[in-house]
Structure 1
C-alpha cells in the first residue's frame, strides 16, 4: 500500500540560536500598491517563502539531493536509471515520458520530514516492486522509490518532469526540485541544447555557483567538448570543460549500455566523488552560507519595497488631507451663503420677541395686547399661542437641517479622491479597495452621523443652559439674564446656525442684543457670555457637519492602513535579515 506523506508538522526553527520565521508571516506582509515595484510583491513573497522553506529543510537534512533536469526527449530518465543502476523511471519514444517527479532514496532517508513543498504529497514505493517499475510518475505527486543500498544512503536522486512541459504543475515541481538540490545534472542532446526554455535554464544553472554537470546525450563521435563550449560561449554561457560530458548514442537499452561508456564512467565517478559522505559537512556549510546571504538580500529587497510604500502612503495621506480641506471649505462656504439677510432679520425679530415677552413690563404689555387682539380672535383671525416644549423645539430644528450641501461636499471629495489618489495600476490592492461597495458613505449613514452630532450639540446646549440658569436669581427677572430669555436666545442661535449662520451669527446676534443691553455689570456679563456661547455653538455645529466629511476621509485612510504591513512585522523581517547576515559572517570565518 503506498505511503502518502501528509503536510509536515510544525516545529520551532533556529539558526544557531536565532529564531527563524515560520511561513505564516507571509500573510502579514502586504502593501497598497502605490509604487511600481509593488506589482511584484506577490511573486517576491512566493519566492521568499519558498526559499526560506528550502533553507530550513536543507539545514538539517542528512544527505545530498541530485536533480536531473532537461527538456523533452533529451534522455533524462535514461541517465537517471543508469546512475541508479535500475530501470526505475519509464523511458521510451513517447513524449513526454515523465509525468511526475521520481525519487530514488534509501528507505531510512527522512525525505518527507519538514518537506518544503507540502502541497505535493510524497508516495513511497519499494524499488523493484511490481507496482513501482518502471514508473512515469504521477501528476501532482512525487513517487519515492526506496532502496537499501548503503553506498547511496546519503544521496537522493530526482528525475524531474521536462522543463518545457505543457503542464504548469510539472514545470513548477521541476523548478522546486532544482531549488532543493545540492547538485544539478543538466541533460541535453545534440539537437536540443540550444532550445529556448532549457537553454535559459542552463544559463541560470551555470551562473548559480552550485555543482552542476552538463551531459550532452546522443552526441556524434566527431563532436568535441571544445566545439560545444565555443557555441555556448557565443551565448555568454561559460564554464570549465570538466563540467561537460559528451555521451554517445546507445541503441537497444541505453540505461544498461551507458555504464560501459568511458564518458559515462568518468561522469559517474566525478559525481560520486563530489558528493561523497566525507564532503557532506563542508558542502552544507558552503550552501547554507550562500543561501543565508541570498535570503538576507531578498529580505533587504522586501524591506526596501515596504519602506517605499510607507513613504508613498504618507504622501497619499497628505494629499487626502488637502482634498478634505478643499471639500470642507466648499461646505462651509455653501452653508454661509444660506445665512441671508432674511435670516438676520429673523434672528433680530425673535430676540426682540423674547425680550418683549419676558421683560419686567411683560404683564402690562400683554394686557394691552389682549385688548387689541380680542376682536381679531372673536373673528377667528388669531388663535392663542401655545408655547412649545424644549423637545418639540429641538425636533423642529432637526427637521430644518438641509443635508444637500453635505452630500455635495461628499460627492466632490469622492470624485477627487478617485481621480487624484487612485494608484496607476488598476490591479493594485488600494485601487480595488477604493472602489469596493460601502467605501462611500450612504445617504442613511450621512443622516445618522449628522443627527448624532446634533444630539450631542443639544445635550451640550441643555447642560450649558442648566449651568448658567443656576446663577440667575429667581426672585426677579434681570432683563437679558432671565432663564426664559437665555434659553430662547440659545434656541434662536441654534436655529440661525442650522439656517447657515456659521460665521454671520456673531454679527447678527450682536446687532439683535445691543438694544436690550443696559450698562449694568450683570447684563454686560450676560451679553458677553451669550455671545461666547453663540460662537461656541456655531463652532460645534460646524464641527458636526464637517465630521461627516472627515468620516469619509477616515474611511479612505482606514482602507489604506488595512493594506499596510504593520510595524511589528517589519521589525521581525529586519531581525531575520540581521540573523541571516550574522550567520553568513560566522560561516565565512569558520
Structure 2
C-alpha cells in the first residue's frame, strides 16, 4: 500500500479534532450526530489507526449477527474447543471472546486493536465491558475470531458493542438464520458493510433439509438487490445436537473453516482483505467527516442563537436602566428628602424657578453660607443607583432564563447544569451588589474629576471653591438623572423641581454649555459602567456555552482532514469486493454444505432442533 505515514498522521490529527464533545446542544437530530461521532471515533481507535500502524498484523474476523443465530456455537465449532459459552438465555455473550492462535496471542493481549476494552485472559467468562482473549491450536496464525454480542440484543450496551466490534473487523463473518434472514436489523448492518466495502461472508444457519438451496437462492437475491451480490455465502443445516452446549459436527462447518484457513495461509489473500476493508473504511470518511462538520456548524449556529437571546435580554435590561435615569424616579423618596436637607426649602426652589437670573448669586451665597449634609445625599443617591442596576440585572436574568427554557437547546443546556444552577440564573449574580457599589463609587469619583477639570480656569475656580467641590459634584449627579444634556426651558414637576434647581445652580457656576457637556459625559460614563456590569452578569449564561461549544475552526479543520485523507487515498484504491476474497474450492464446499452429510443427524418433527450454527436448544 505504499508509505502510509502521511495518512496515519492525518488520521491522528482527525482523531484529535474529535476528542471533545462536539454536540452538546439539542439541535436537529443531535442523537444521530452523537452516534455518528461515537462510531467514527471508535473506528479510528479500534481499527483505522491500529491497522495503518501495522498493516501486516493478524486479521480480525468478527462473528456477528442476530439473537439465536449461533455465533458462539459456530466459533466453538470452528476452533474445535469450547471457548465461548452458548446457551438459551439472552443475552448469551456478556463479554466478547477473541480466539487467537498462540502465535498471535501477544498481539491481541496488547491493546493494539480495541484499546478501550480491558483484556481478560484465562477460562473465566469476563465481565461486561472487557475483552476476553483465549488461544486455540486450531486457529491458524494470522487470523483471530471474535464472538460479538447480538446486534439486536435487549441490552442497549450489547448492541452498541456489537456495532463497535464489527467496525473494528478486517472481515465480517455475519450469521443469520433461515427464519430471520429477511429481518431489517441484520440488513441495516449488511448495508453498512456494503457502504464501507467491508470484506464480508454470510453464514446462513438452521436451514431445514427441505429448504436447502431454496432459502439460499432467496438470500442470494436479497444480497444482489442490496448491492452485495457475490458475497460469500455458507449454509449450515439444522441439526439435532446431544445437548445445548454441544459443538456442531466438523463436517457442518468444514467449508467455513477451510475458507478461513485459505485466507490466513495466503499473504496475498490477507493483504487483499485488509486492502478492501481498510480502503472502504477510509473512503467512508469522505462523507462521514463532512457530515460531522456540518453538524458542528449547526451547533455553532445554535450557540449563536442562544447568545443572541442573551444579548437581547440584557439589552432590554440596559434600556430599563436608561429609562430609570431619564424618568426622574431616582429623585424621589430618600434622595429628594436628602436633597431638601442639602439645598434648602421648597420656598427657595420656587423663588429660583421664577427668578433664576436675579437669584443666581444669592443661590451660591446661600449654599456656601450654611453647612450641607452632602454625605447623606451622596449615600442616598448611591443607594438609588445601585438599586436601579440590580433591578435591571434581575429583570434581564429572568427574561433570559425564560427564553432559554423555551428553546430546546437552551433547555437541554440548563437541564445539564441542574435545577440549582438554573434557579440561580433567574436572578442577578450574588456578587453583583458589591460590583455595583464599586462601580457607582467609581462613577462618583469620575464626576468629581469632571467638576475639578471644568473649574480649572480662574473665574470658575473661585465659584467652585466657594460652593465646594463635593457640592458641585452632587448637583451634577442630580442633573444626570433628570436632564437630557441641558434644559431648553424651565423644567417643571420632576421631583418637586429638584432637577431645575440643580441645573440652574450648575449654570451659575459653569455656564449653560459647560453644564450640557458635563451632564452628557457623566451620564455616558455611568452607562458604560452599567454595560460592563450587565455584560458580566450575562457571562454566567454564555460561560455555559463556552464550556461546551466546540472550538472555533473545528468544522473547517474536519473538512480539511477529510480532504487530506482523500488525497492520500489515491495510493489506496478501493478493491473490487467480488475479487478480493479467495474463491478456490469454496463454491464446491458451499454446494456440498447445502445438504447435511449422511453421518449428521437430521432434525425431524417433534424433536427439539439445535440451531445448526446457532445457540443450541433454540427451536
CA distance in 2, matches of 1:402, 1:565: 37
- Identify the structure with bigger relative contact order (alpha carbons < 8 Å, sequence gap 6+): 2
Structure 1 residue 184: Cα displacement: 1.7
Partner of 2:362: 356
Residue 428 and residue 73 in structure 1: after superposition, are their counterparts in 2 closer, same or farther (change >3 A)? same
Partner of 1:302: 292
Residue 537 and residue 299 in structure 1: after superposition, are their counterparts in 2 closer, same or farther (change >3 A)? same
Residue 57 and residue 237 in structure 1: after superposition, are their counterparts in 2 closer, same or farther (change >3 A)? same
Residue 181 and residue 255 in structure 1: after superposition, are their counterparts in 2 closer, same or farther (change >3 A)? farther
Which of 261, 282, 286 pairs up with 2:276? 286
Structure 1 residue 155: Cα displacement: 0.2
Residue 46 and residue 420 in structure 1: after superposition, are their counterparts in 2 closer, same or farther (change >3 A)? same
Residue 266 and residue 462 in structure 1: after superposition, are their counterparts in 2 closer, same or farther (change >3 A)? same
Partner of 2:34: 42
CA distance in 1, matches of 2:309, 2:398: 14
CA distance in 1, matches of 2:21, 2:257: 45
5+ residue gaps, structure 2, are 492-498, 576-619
Q: How does 1:460-539 map to 2 (within 5 A)?
A: 460-472=446-458, 480=463, 482=465, 484=467, 487-497=470-480, 500-503=481-484, 506-507=487-488, 526-539=511-524
Partner of 1:333: 323
Structure 1 residue 580: Cα displacement: 1.9
Secondary structure, in 3 states, of the residue corresponding to 1:20? Answer: helix
List per-residue Cα deviations over 1:274-304 (Å, max 9, x = no partner): 4532223333233322212223422211211
Residue 417 and residue 91 in structure 1: after superposition, are their counterparts in 2 closer, same or farther (change >3 A)? closer
Partner of 1:60: 53
List per-residue Cα deviations over 1:407-456 (Å, max 9, x = no partner): 55344433433444442257632665596243244475342232122111
Which of 209, 218, 227 pairs up with 1:230? 218
Residue 411 and residue 95 in structure 1: after superposition, are their counterparts in 2 closer, same or farther (change >3 A)? closer
Which consecutive segments of 4 or more residues in structure 1 shift more than 6 A?
253-257, 340-343, 345-348, 350-354, 509-518
State whether residues 292 and 583 of structure 1, in contact with CA within 8 Å, keep that contact through their aligned partners in structure 2.
no
Which of 442, 445, 450 pairs up with 1:459? 445
CA distance in 2, matches of 1:411, 1:512: 31
- Residue 70 of structure 2 is aligned to residue 83 of structure 1: no
Which of 435, 443, 450 pairs up with 2:436? 450
Residue 216 and residue 432 in structure 1: after superposition, are their counterparts in 2 closer, same or farther (change >3 A)? closer
State whether residues 426 and 432 of structure 1, in contact with CA within 8 Å, keep that contact through their aligned partners in structure 2.
no
CA distance in 2, matches of 1:305, 1:432: 20
Question: TM-score, normalised to structure 1's length?
Answer: 0.75
CA distance in 2, matches of 1:234, 1:143: 35
5+ residue gaps, structure 1, are 1-12, 126-131, 367-384
Secondary structure, in 3 states, of the residue corresponding to 2:145? Answer: strand
Structure 1 residue 53: Cα displacement: 0.6
CA distance in 1, matches of 2:74, 2:125: 14
Q: How does 1:108-507 map to 2 (within 5 A)?
A: 108-109=103-104, 110-125=107-122, 132=123, 138-147=127-136, 152-194=140-182, 197-198=185-186, 200-202=188-190, 204-205=192-193, 208-230=196-218, 233=221, 237=226, 239-240=228-229, 243-252=232-241, 258-261=249-252, 264-275=253-264, 276-338=266-328, 349=349, 355-356=361-362, 358-359=364-365, 385-388=370-373, 394-401=378-385, 403=387, 405-421=388-404, 422-424=406-408, 428-429=412-413, 432=416, 436-442=422-428, 445-472=431-458, 480=463, 482=465, 484=467, 487-497=470-480, 500-503=481-484, 506-507=487-488
List per-residue Cα deviations over 1:506-547 (Å, max 9, x = no partner): 5567887669979xxxx8x75533432133123323444454
Residue 568 and residue 532 in structure 1: after superposition, are their counterparts in 2 closer, same or farther (change >3 A)? same
Question: TM-score, normalised to structure 2's length?
Answer: 0.72
- Between 233-242 and 214-223, report the one with greater CA deviation: 233-242
State whether residues 183 and 211 of structure 1, in contact with CA within 8 Å, keep that contact through their aligned partners in structure 2.
yes
State whether residues 89 and 159 of structure 1, in contact with CA within 8 Å, keep that contact through their aligned partners in structure 2.
yes
List per-residue Cα deviations over 1:240-295 (Å, max 9, x = no partner): 4662222224445797763335xx44433333334532223333233322212223
Residue 34 and residue 471 in structure 1: after superposition, are their counterparts in 2 closer, same or farther (change >3 A)? farther
Residue 467 and residue 397 in structure 1: after superposition, are their counterparts in 2 closer, same or farther (change >3 A)? same
Secondary structure, in 3 states, of the residue corresponding to 1:152? Answer: coil
CA distance in 2, matches of 1:552, 1:534: 27
Structure 1 residue 56: Cα displacement: 1.0
Partner of 1:378: none
CA distance in 2, matches of 1:362, 1:124: 95
Structure 1 residue 207: Cα displacement: 5.7
State whether residues 117 and 129 of structure 2, in contact with CA within 8 Å, keep that contact through their aligned partners in structure 1.
yes
State whether residues 117 and 130 of structure 2, in contact with CA within 8 Å, keep that contact through their aligned partners in structure 1.
yes
Residue 255 and residue 180 in structure 1: after superposition, are their counterparts in 2 closer, same or farther (change >3 A)? farther
State whether residues 502 and 539 of structure 1, in contact with CA within 8 Å, keep that contact through their aligned partners in structure 2.
no
